[in-house]
Structure 1
Amino acid sequence: MEITSYQDFINMAKQQPEPQRLLFVLAKAQLPEQPTQIQQQQFEQQAGGNLEPVLCVDKLPEEVESFDVLVEESQRTDIDWDIAFVSAMDGRGGHPISSDEASQPLEMMVQQIQAGMIKHFLTINRQGELVQVM
């Protein structure tokens, strides 16, 4: 099944043989230190900048059936973000992994995002639209 929407992702997670734990790393677009004029212009046109992770969270699919739920919950933190990097982890023996077990994979996601290794993550903007980040 091809994932073309956040809802497709949730539906696919629910159909997996093992329960899933969803991993979200929320990132904010930022200018690099001492940006060039071109970098500044691209950033202002929302076509450039660095994505810096600002918040991590893990959820069960049932907890975030709608992307709006994630957005509303994140607003309570007062942390601004632009892009959500999303992944999923299989549970074991019919049970999803715990939040404690998800902390190390979330940290690894953060490190991969900081290194620019993002092609295997689903990327979603604040409006809930799948986007391609390069």
Structure 2
Amino acid sequence: MFKGQVSGEFTKLLEAAKQQEQPQRLLMLFARAEGNKKKKDNASHETGTVTPLMCVDKLPEEIDSFEALIKEADAIVDDWSFVLIAGLGGNNGEAPPTEAAEPYLNQMANDLMMGQDLSGYTILDRQQHPVLLQAR
């Protein structure tokens, strides 16, 4: 599995996935953040908990836009705060089947719940802004 941090908008991420040597399957974990009070010493940092809500895997060609992805996600669960995204590369010119995504999606959820390093994932909020999550 490649977990590539791609700066910029979701469109750039889709284009990067399409340009990989092997076809990709995008792995997405939608999560909800429940914040506590902001720290007095640094108002830009919040503490709180993060809960995985749902996992989705799609080929880049199956996603028209970030807005379409939001609409589809909201039809299932609408209280998500951000999405973690990774790519799973295929072999011999074939994209991985959806069945191959499950263990990696489980790993993403475990990484999030266990406070593991998430710097290898692209994390975007609902407005496509990059999000930095750090374990305490």
TM-score between both structures, scaled by the size of structure 2: 0.83
* Counterpart residue identity of residue 53, structure 1: P
Where does the alignment leave 5 or more consecutive residues of structure 2 unmatched? none
**Higher helix proportion (structure 1 or 2):** 1
CA drift of 1:81 comes to 0.4
Where does the alignment leave 5 or more consecutive residues of structure 1 unmatched? 32-39
The 8 Å contact of residues 25 and 109 in structure 1, kept in 2 or not, is answered as yes
Structure 1 residues 46 and 106, CA gap change in structure 2 (3 angstroms):
same
Q: Does 1:9 align with 2:13?
A: yes
* Counterpart residue identity of residue 10, structure 2: Y
Aligned counterpart, 1:69: 68
The 8 Å contact of residues 122 and 130 in structure 1, kept in 2 or not, is answered as yes
Output one character per residue of 1:37-78: Cα deviation in whole Å (capped at 9) or x when no partner. Answer: xxx3229x8822111101100011111241111100011113
CA drift of 1:5 comes to 2.0
The 8 Å contact of residues 83 and 123 in structure 1, kept in 2 or not, is answered as yes
Q: Does 1:106 align with 2:121?
A: no
* Counterpart residue identity of residue 64, structure 1: I
Q: CA RMSD in A?
A: 2.1
What is the number of residues matched between the two proteins?
125
Secondary structure of 1:119's counterpart equals coil
Q: Does 1:42 align with 2:41?
A: no
CA drift of 1:26 comes to 0.5
